Structure 1
Amino acid sequence: MSSAKTICSGTRAISKKPFRVSIEGNIGSGKSTCIKFFEKYPYLEKHFEPLNEWRDVSGHNLLGLTYSDSQKWTFSFQHYIHLTRLKIQTSPPCNPNITVKMFERSVQNSRYCFIENAKKRGFLHDAEYQVLNTWYDFVEKNLDINLNLIVYLKTSPQVVWDRMMKRGRAEESEVPLDYLQQVHDAYENWIYSPTIGCEVITIDADKSLDNVKEDLERYSYKILGGNHTN
């Protein structure tokens, strides 16, 4: 998977806020492939999950540490994930012609999927859980993190576990099937909640890549903002 697109530094005025699309789904559901499908559009700015940042926090591989000892490292990892997702989600586009900003997972996903699942699994003490939630509540009230659309690549845990084993990322080698089931359940609880906050397009990502691409093409007008205005 590619690293995140460079975020512009500094501030500048832009006439329109880009249409924000979060590509959501379990590990191995095809999120980065989905983003690459739309990279042909010049007015779209894409952001993959910043894996390289998570693997090197001043020499510390937080991603690897969390997979190896979730009890010890989940709080630090989730705190840093919040920061990197927030930078991606709220930074202005690097090009004034950009009208769509597409990114792999969102700040909302971190809060309502992975933090909730970590608390449920006992990887976060209640004090740590409350710190992360208080941080998120402050951000939500004081910064514009709103999403315009979620594309949910829905998968079954067994399918994504098989895919994950085939791609062979070192940090994922010890991830059990039951963890993917729990992430799936957390996604379902969040995506289909009445407080999701934006429209959701659900795509069956258990299907072949060609079939998924056909669905992406079918929904492309809506995914790319349609008649969106700010």
Structure 2
Amino acid sequence: MLSLKSLSVENVKPTQKRQPKKKKPFTVAVEGNIGSGKSTCLEYFRKQKQVEVVPEPVFKWKDVKGYNTLELMYKDASRWSLAFQSYVQLTMAEVHRKETDCPVKMIERSLYSARYCFVENLFKGGLMPDVDYAILSEWYNWIQENEDMHIDLIVYLQAKPVTCQNRIKMRNRHEEQSVPLEYLQSLNDLHEDWLIKENKFKAPCPVLVINTDCGLNDMYKKFDAHRDEILQLNKEN
């Protein structure tokens, strides 16, 4: 039996105050082919104080305990596609989960494009066996069901494959030197099927299409013209 002393004010622990739930940032995924202008777009919006930019974790892909998995993937996709895409899905899930104090979070690509464009491209091109494709699909589905992969807007930078190829040559990144035009065309078709036609996969949120078949200055003008729409500045974040 409890004594009156045990129920005294001094012995009653105060109820712990429930912490207010942190408001989620408005999350924008910048999607597009290799060389479509994603880095340029991110650098433009990085200057906005209300935006935190989260680039693709390429530095992780290029150094997994000393292994450059991105380079291995480009050199021998049929051998390394499962290992590389498994790690891509893991690191992109981390990007989605990254917290920020800024009202807007802008990420380079997403878990969705990793699965719907890049994994799909490997499978369709005969560079990924059925069993590897099935494993990656199961892994993707588990992440979708157990983690918050929410995004509010996709900015799709639409550029012709030949434009992308020319930009790849100009920026001269070591791992990208062997990327053929056919590969860029295939990725372009998959982005179009997903974000424009929605043939096999559906976009998880509204899509804003910006054509980037233009010079740098014109690209900046287009980003500026859509700035309020992308950052939702006319709404309360």
128-137 vs 191-200, which moves further: 191-200
Cα offsets for 1:24-74 (capped at 9, x unmatched): 111111101101101122221111112211110001000000000011011
Q: Which amino acid aligns with 1:85?
A: M
Aligned residue in 1 for 2:132: 128
> By how many angstroms is 1:225 displaced?
2.5
Aligned residue in 1 for 2:41: 34
Counterparts of 1:94-105 in structure 2 under 5 Å? 96=101, 98-105=102-109
> By how many angstroms is 1:13 displaced?
6.8
Aligned residue in 2 for 1:5: none
Aligned residue in 2 for 1:185: 189
- Asked whether 1:156 is paired with 2:160, we answer yes
> By how many angstroms is 1:154 displaced?
0.4
CA distance in 2, matches of 1:89, 1:226: 22
Q: TM-score, normalised by structure 2?
A: 0.87
Aligned residue in 2 for 1:86: 93
**Given that residues 28 and 163 in structure 1 are in contact (C-alpha distance below 8 angstroms), is that contact kept between their aligned partners in structure 2?**
yes
> By how many angstroms is 1:14 displaced?
5.2
Q: Which amino acid aligns with 1:160?
A: C
- Asked whether 1:214 is paired with 2:221, we answer yes
Query: What SS does the corresponding residue of 1:203 show, helix, strand or coil?
Result: strand
Q: Which amino acid aligns with 1:72?
A: R
Residue of 145, 150, 156 corresponding to 1:141: 145
Unaligned runs of 5+ in 1: 1-11
Query: What SS does the corresponding residue of 2:30 show, helix, strand or coil?
Result: strand
Q: Which has the larger radius of gyration?
A: 2
Query: What SS does the corresponding residue of 1:38 show, helix, strand or coil?
Result: helix
Q: Which amino acid aligns with 1:148?
A: D
After the TM superposition, which parts of structure 1 deviate over 2 Å for at least 4 consecutive aligned residues? 12-15, 225-230
CA distance in 2, matches of 1:173, 1:40: 30
Q: Kindly tell me: are residues 71 and 18 of structure 1, through their superposed partners in 2, closer, same or farther at Cα, counting changes over 3 Å?
A: same
> By how many angstroms is 1:80 displaced?
0.6
Query: What SS does the corresponding residue of 1:20 show, helix, strand or coil?
Result: strand
Q: Which amino acid aligns with 1:109?
A: S
| Aligned-residue RMSD, C-alpha | 1.6
**Given that residues 19 and 228 in structure 1 are in contact (C-alpha distance below 8 angstroms), is that contact kept between their aligned partners in structure 2?**
no
Q: Kindly tell me: are residues 64 and 229 of structure 1, through their superposed partners in 2, closer, same or farther at Cα, counting changes over 3 Å?
A: same
Residue of 7, 22, 25 corresponding to 1:15: 22
- How many percent of aligned residue pairs carry the same amino acid? 40
Query: What SS does the corresponding residue of 1:24 show, helix, strand or coil?
Result: strand
